[in-house]
Structure formats: C-alpha cells, structure tokens
Amino acid sequence: MKYIFIGDIHGKIADVEVALAKPGKKIFVGDFIDSFNHPVEDHEKCYDLVFQAIDKGEAEAIYGNHELSYLMPTQHRCSGYSEERQMLMTHYGPRIREKFKPYILLKPDLLVSHAGLTETLWRSFGLTFDNLSETLAEWWPDLRSPMHFIGRYRGGRNNVGGMFWCDYNVEFRPIEGLTQIFGHTPGRGIRHRANEYCIDCLDTSPDTFLELEAYAD
C-alpha cells in the first residue's frame, strides 16, 4: 500500500487539502493546532478535513505535543498556546480523543510517531522488538512514562524527550533495525539519515510529503 506521511500542519489548510487529494493512505503526525500566522478558524477547518478523511478510511492521525498540551493539563504548554484555542480544543477534544492515535506501528520495525523514539530510551528501558508494542501500549496512558518525557532542551526536566517531545537535532539517536517517521523538529525539507525520516518541513517546503510503499503487519 502507498502511504503519504504529512508533517506538522499548524493551521495550514492548503497542505491538508493537497495531501488528502493524493492517492494512498494518509498519515498525519500531529500538531494541527497552534500557529502564529493562522487564525483559530483555520485550525478548526484542518481538524474537520482530517476527521472526515479518517471517517472515510482514507487517513489516520497521531497526537502531537501541541494537541496534548491542551488535552492533558499536566503537560508542558507549547508555544502558540492561547485561550481562544483552548476553547476550540475543549470543543474538539472528544473527537480528537476518539479519532487520533498516540503512535502507529505499521510493522514491528516501522514506527510512526510525533517526535520519534530515541535510542537513549530504547536502551535505558530495555526495549526490544519483541516487547515494543506491549511497552508502548503501557506507556501511553501514564503521563510519567518515558513516552511523555520532556527533555531539558525543550524546557522539561528529563535528559531527553519522549515520543511527543524528542528534539531531532539534539536528542534523537537512531535505533538499529527500526525505521521511524516523525515530525516535531522543523527544518528545510524532509531529513533522512540512517533509518529515520523527520518530516516537519511544511513551513519551509509547502506541499512536501513523504511517500512510501509499506505493508502493515
């Protein structure tokens, strides 16, 4: 199956529309909310478009740290936070919780998340390909788990960030044998090194999406 992976949207309606028009299954890696350039109505439209595509079976979406900063009150507030957007997220929260996922394991060795899983956490917490799926499922609802770590570089108290906060430039280290696709750390164009793709590039490279052939297990 052909997959289209879309980086952090932050209110960019045109990028959502272009992505949804492409043939193949679309996977959005989160952060639809919070922009210094787009009004709250644009964020609302982006969510509505993606909700419709999910309902049709044409797309999937992952929480970003910007979603979680509104929906999980103990989370670190992200840049761009506003009371007006809080009202939107309070209204949209039930649908986001229903339709969004914390991560997607397309295969045991292909992980899609918002910010990536760094080798530091993999090694420190004894992760293996045999226990990865079970461990991530256990970590997700526990806000104290490594999945939700916020590294000092991003204003948190942990040595490195978890799967919603890991900074690609400073904290991320690849995991041998695990292909990863994620956003979160902005850059110019899709960055690909070793076996990972960082696709947070829509601010500098509009309509630039990662297109891959992959088969879910």
What's the pTM? 0.96
Report angle CA 41, 72, 206 to the nearest 5 degrees: 40
Q: What is the 3-state secondary structure (H, E, C) of 56-123?
A: CCCEEEECCHHHHHHHCCCCCCCCCCCHHHHHHHHHHHHHHHHHCECCEEEECCEEECCCCCCHHHHH
| pLDDT exceeds 80 at position 36 | no
**pLDDT per residue over 90-108, tens digit each?**
999 999 999 999 999 999 9
Q: What domains, with CATH codes, occur in the chain?
A: 2-213 (3.60.21.10)
| pLDDT tens digits along 114-160 | 999 999 999 999 999 999 999 999 999 999 999 999 999 998 999 99
- Give 28's strand partners: 6, 61
Q: Give pLDDT, residue 217.
A: 56
**Burial class, 112, CB count within 10 angstroms (exposed 0-12 / middle 13-18 / buried 19+):** buried
